[in-house]
Structure 1
Amino acid sequence: MSSDPDTILSPPLGYVTPTFPCLYNPRAEFTRQNSSALVPGTCYLYYSNDVWRFTLYWTLICYSITFLLTGTWAFIVFSKKSVLLAAVIPLTFGFFACLVALIGASIIGFVLAAVYSVGYFSMSTWVPFLWALVQTMVAIMGSYSTSISII
């Protein structure tokens, strides 16, 4: 491998890992002139631990919202039948939201980091957010048939 800066992915000079969530206006991408220069108003991830962390945080947020809504609905439905069961349901939903988010974000976050580093790409902070939304949509679609058969 050559030591040409254009073929080795390394953070540009002055790079600081962005703080979470650091979602920026995507139109700033069109002003990018050089792939090794930082464009003001944009945020990129270069390290696999940062990619994993951003993916985990966004997945936890998306799953928490989704599972909170479904847990609240289950609480309302089951509170008429059993108060104890109704109290346990939101806790169970919360536990599984965190567990599934941790597993899914770990797999997807490190795969994303590997793919981007092998391709010598810098990763926009929008990518982990969008993959968290994809994971959430897949979880919703996967639970549809199960919830219908239970009801």
Structure 2
Amino acid sequence: MALKVRLTNPAPLDYKTPPWPSLYWPLDERIGVAKYLYFTRDIWLYTLLWTLVMFAGTHGIVAIISVVIHVGKGHRSWQYAWATFLALAIIAGIEAIMAGSVVGLILGAVYESGYFKMSTWIPFVWGIINVLFLIVSSFSYGSAL
């Protein structure tokens, strides 16, 4: 006789979503130090927030470089320099929402379907992976042939 058991909620009874960012030192083996995510909504939110932070930082650096390039090119060039920041902020926000949502929902579905707990470091790492993918995909490969 087979007994089928399905867990409906793998989280501990006293579980509360840890406050963002809740990064901890992974080598610290004390009980209660590690922070985990159990639900798809929490995983999605953490991944989205980390992707937004990483994209904002990356696009901010690019915007600063583009403004520095305009130094010494005259008043007309500086007149529209603020538009660079605005355009890159909007682009970063849209890209981060799309990339963070897709990756976060996929991660959440995989972890919740397997009843796994997710370390709060995983969304951080996926935010970095999203930015690295953005940087690598910005290069043209066909021109090298």
TM-score when scaled to structure 1? 0.81
Aligned equivalents of 1:84, 1:46: Cα separation in 2:
49
Unmatched runs of 5 consecutive residues or more in structure 2: none
| Higher CA-based Rg | 2
> For residue 102 of structure 1, what is the aligned residue in structure 2?
97
Tell me, yes or no, if structure 1 residue 87 matches structure 2 residue 79: no
Aligned equivalents of 2:128, 2:52: Cα separation in 1:
10
What secondary structure does 1:26 align onto? coil
Higher share in helix:
1
**How well do the aligned residues superpose, as a CA RMSD in angstroms?**
2.0
> For residue 34 of structure 1, what is the aligned residue in structure 2?
none
Unmatched runs of 5 consecutive residues or more in structure 1: 32-38
Letter in 1 for 2:48: L
Tell me if the contact between 1:58 and 1:132 (Cα under 8 Å) persists in the aligned partners: yes
Tell me if the contact between 1:9 and 1:121 (Cα under 8 Å) persists in the aligned partners: no
How many residue pairs were aligned?
Answer: 136
Aligned equivalents of 1:45, 1:62: Cα separation in 2:
20
Segments of 4+ moved more than 6 angstroms: none
**Higher relative contact order (Cα pairs below 8 Å, separated by 6+ residues):** 2
> For residue 69 of structure 1, what is the aligned residue in structure 2?
61
> For residue 106 of structure 2, what is the aligned residue in structure 1?
111
Tell me, yes or no, if structure 1 residue 47 matches structure 2 residue 39: yes
What secondary structure does 1:71 align onto? helix
Letter in 2 for 1:145: S
TM-score when scaled to structure 2? 0.84
